[in-house]
A and B are shown apart, each in its own frame.
Chain A
Amino acid sequence: MVSNNIIQVENLTKAFGDFTAVNAISFEVKKGEIFGFLGANGAGKTTAMKMLIGISRPTSGKATVAGFDVYKNPDAIKKNIGYMSQKFALYDDLTVKENITFYGGIYGLSRKQIKEKTNQLLEELGLQKIVGELVGSLPLGWKQKLSFSVALLHEPKIVFLDEPTGGVDPITRRQFWEMIYKTAHNGTTIFVTTHYMDEAEYCDRVSIMVDGKIEALDTPKKLKEQFKAKTMNDVFLKLARG
């Protein structure tokens, strides 16, 4: 790969019977950027993302992630990406440490690596005191941070975040975005879906999906200029109203 694009998508389409959830979208994501993948609920964001992370087969079109083809090499993609779902998806009946060990384990990290990672991560998050607590007893904000850290355990090239801030308060959301910045700063590409338009302002570039198509794609600043809007929310409203 000579190109600087870590994700390359051309005319990617997913149809369920007569319904086309994702309609020939094309875009690329550059290495190290924070790419916002925006759209209302049901616009096709999650479906599009599922094709990129290799758990849904595209109907047609081309896509490569981390240099690997989504049709031919989904297993290679899986090793190179991290994923955090909107449900945070940690095991409530396992302790913080057990969760970390488990997820490290399924990504093939050695025991030594897991130990190092765990210590480093707990320190960063300030979770040392509750390492033995069951995750079920933690507040949502902590679960969210832990879930994000777990997605980064195996040092993926890209991390996919599916509505990572759903249901948490604005302060926690802000803190979470700081974590995202830090991660991007260290060279990891961030692909994040959200329907909070204010969060779009934090992204390097955003795409906005409406009814299965990408209707706009640029930096937040240029999009606001283009649509003569003050905030991303206005941009979105103008787009959604057609």
Chain B
Amino acid sequence: MKRFIGFIKKEFYHIFRDKRSLFILFGMPVAQIMLFGFAITNEINNVDIAILDHSKDTYTQEIINKISASKYFSVQQYIANESSIESVFKKGKVKAVLVFENDFSKKLIKENLAKVQIITDATDPNTAQTISNYTNAILQNYQKELNKNVETPYQIITQTHMNYNPELKSVFMFVPGVMTIILMLVSAMMTSISITREKELGTMEILLVSPLKPIQVIIGKVVPYIFLSVINAIVIVLLSIFIFKMPVQGSLFLLGIESVLFIITSLSLGILISTISATQQTAMMISLMGLMLPTILLSGFIFPIASMPLPLQIISNIIPARWFIIILKGIMLKGVGLLFIWKETLILIGMTLFFIGLSIKKYKIRLE
């Protein structure tokens, strides 16, 4: 045990004396959370829109009033016909155009059904999606109000030429994603680099000749990163609570346990990477290309899995981050307990065991 503590102490010297790794460890989480929280926000404010109202009746006027009264939109101009839609978009003055069909009120009263078309400027897809979300929400509200005193409900149908995307609502959604990426980055990349560094320096050989068992060497390398990752997770949760006022709905204890589980999954991936790469560069490239990219792209963090092509959806199943993001969203946003996330938890445990088993096998082959 004393040998072990000496080993871990040494590991901390490495980390704290290397400015680059210190930056990745502690600068990155804060920077990323801030970046995603403030700069890349999906919330919209005072977005300029145009209205094309073919009916010009009381109902359409009421809807327009509602929309311009909200802080999200300001009605910039009214246009007269379809052909102007193109031109207002081209001028870049508005982000969206709302089109009310002919005889909106009449249809709503007679047929209980009227249509609104939302056309958004999709050059900025995130904003476009958010705009359509918000407009829809306003229309839904209005519809509810209308239906309060009516027997046969009125229906306002919205047509959007963009896919409705319920996942991207606000900064809250980024916190689980960023947390996943940071934990993955710190745990997998940093450990794989630090283990391959020992190989490159030749010190790994010395360690293997020493009475330390290979498993002790690996655990010794990994423990400091578990510790640092846990600190990172705590920092991220604190930032999201106090800076972004995002409360954690579920149990903090469960959140902690699940985070440690994911940290261990990532560490086992890091160990696996270190067994197949001979140099730090290789380890870093494999971590970045093989882990970070799929984690960012396929985990459902930025792009919703449901809207991916089928092959990618299938691939996303083997990305540990996908399951961890579901767990995090469940605990942080919905406040669910283990009962609702046991499946994802089991998948992560299974993956971890698989990676560890594979690493042990690879490690033995290498020693031969």
Tell me if A202 is interfacial: C-beta within 8 Å of chain B.
Answer: no
CB neighbours of A56 from chain B (8 A): 367-368
Taken residue by residue from 69 to 95, chain A's Cβ proximity to chain B (1 for < 8 Å, 0 otherwise) reads as 000000100110101011111111110
A sample of 9 more A-B contacts (CB under 8 A), given A55-B209, A106-B7, is: A78-B210, A81-B209, A83-B209, A91-B14, A91-B201, A105-B6, A106-B6, A107-B210, A108-B3
Tell me if B10 is interfacial: C-beta within 8 Å of chain A.
Answer: yes
Tell me if A142 is interfacial: C-beta within 8 Å of chain B.
Answer: no
Taken residue by residue from 1 to 43, chain B's Cβ proximity to chain A (1 for < 8 Å, 0 otherwise) reads as 0110011011001100110000000000000000000000000
Tell me if A133 is interfacial: C-beta within 8 Å of chain B.
Answer: no
Tell me if A54 is interfacial: C-beta within 8 Å of chain B.
Answer: yes
Q: Are A78 and B201 interface neighbours, CB within 8 A?
A: no
Q: Are A102 and B10 interface neighbours, CB within 8 A?
A: yes
Determine which of B10, B201, B205, B211 lies in contact with A98 in the assembled complex, contact meaning CB atoms within 8 Å.
Answer: B10
Tell me if B207 is interfacial: C-beta within 8 Å of chain A.
Answer: yes
User: Chain B contact residues: over half helix, strand or loop, or mixed?
Assistant: helix
Tell me if A173 is interfacial: C-beta within 8 Å of chain B.
Answer: no
Interface residues of A in 15-61 (CB under 8 A from B): 53-57
Q: Are A89 and B205 interface neighbours, CB within 8 A?
A: yes
Instruction: Please indicate which of the listed interface residues A54, A55, A56 has the most CB atoms of chain B within 10 Å of its own CB.
Output: A55
Chain A: minimal CB distance from B103 (Å) = 77
Determine which of B3, B13, B202 lies in contact with A87 in the assembled complex, contact meaning CB atoms within 8 Å.
Answer: B202
A88 (CB) vs chain B CBs: closest residue: B202
Instruction: Please indicate which of the listed interface residues B9, B201, B203, B213 has the most CB atoms of chain A within 10 Å of its own CB.
Output: B203
6 contacts between A and B (CB under 8 A): A55-B205, A83-B206, A86-B202, A90-B203, A91-B10, A102-B10
CB neighbours of A53 from chain B (8 A): 209
Tell me if A118 is interfacial: C-beta within 8 Å of chain B.
Answer: no
Q: Are B209 and A106 interface neighbours, CB within 8 A?
A: no
Chain A: minimal CB distance from B9 (Å) = 8
Instruction: Please indicate which of the listed interface residues A88, A98, A106 has the most CB atoms of chain B within 10 Å of its own CB.
Output: A106
* Range class of the B interface residue count: 20 to 34
On B, residues with C-beta under 8 Å from A are: 2-3, 6-7, 9-10, 13-14, 17-18, 201-203, 205-213, 367-368
Q: Are B211 and A79 interface neighbours, CB within 8 A?
A: yes
Determine which of A57, A78, A86 lies in contact with B211 in the assembled complex, contact meaning CB atoms within 8 Å.
Answer: A78
* Range class of the A interface residue count: 20 to 34
Q: Are A106 and B367 interface neighbours, CB within 8 A?
A: no
Q: Are B368 and A106 interface neighbours, CB within 8 A?
A: no
Determine which of A86, A98, A106 lies in contact with B13 in the assembled complex, contact meaning CB atoms within 8 Å.
Answer: A98
CB neighbours of B201 from chain A (8 A): 87, 89, 91-92
CB neighbours of A79 from chain B (8 A): 211
A-B CB proximity, top 4 nearest: A105-B6, A87-B202, A89-B202, A83-B209
B200 (CB) vs chain A CBs: closest residue: A87
A83 (CB) vs chain B CBs: closest residue: B209
Q: When chains A and B are docked, how far (Å) is the Cα of A85 from the Cα of B208?
A: 12
CB neighbours of A54 from chain B (8 A): 209
Tell me if A101 is interfacial: C-beta within 8 Å of chain B.
Answer: yes
CB neighbours of A93 from chain B (8 A): 13-14, 17-18
Determine which of A55, A81, A86 lies in contact with B208 in the assembled complex, contact meaning CB atoms within 8 Å.
Answer: A55
Q: Are A105 and B368 interface neighbours, CB within 8 A?
A: no
Contact flag A57-B368 (CB < 8 Å), given A87-B202, A91-B203: yes
CB neighbours of A75 from chain B (8 A): 211, 213
Q: When chains A and B are docked, how far (Å) is the Cα of A59 from the Cα of B202?
A: 24
Q: Are B205 and A85 interface neighbours, CB within 8 A?
A: yes
CB neighbours of A107 from chain B (8 A): 3, 210-211
CB neighbours of A78 from chain B (8 A): 209-211
Taken residue by residue from 202 to 232, chain A's Cβ proximity to chain B (1 for < 8 Å, 0 otherwise) reads as 0000000000000000000000000000000
Instruction: Please indicate which of the listed interface residues A79, A81, A86, A102 has the most CB atoms of chain B within 10 Å of its own CB.
Output: A102
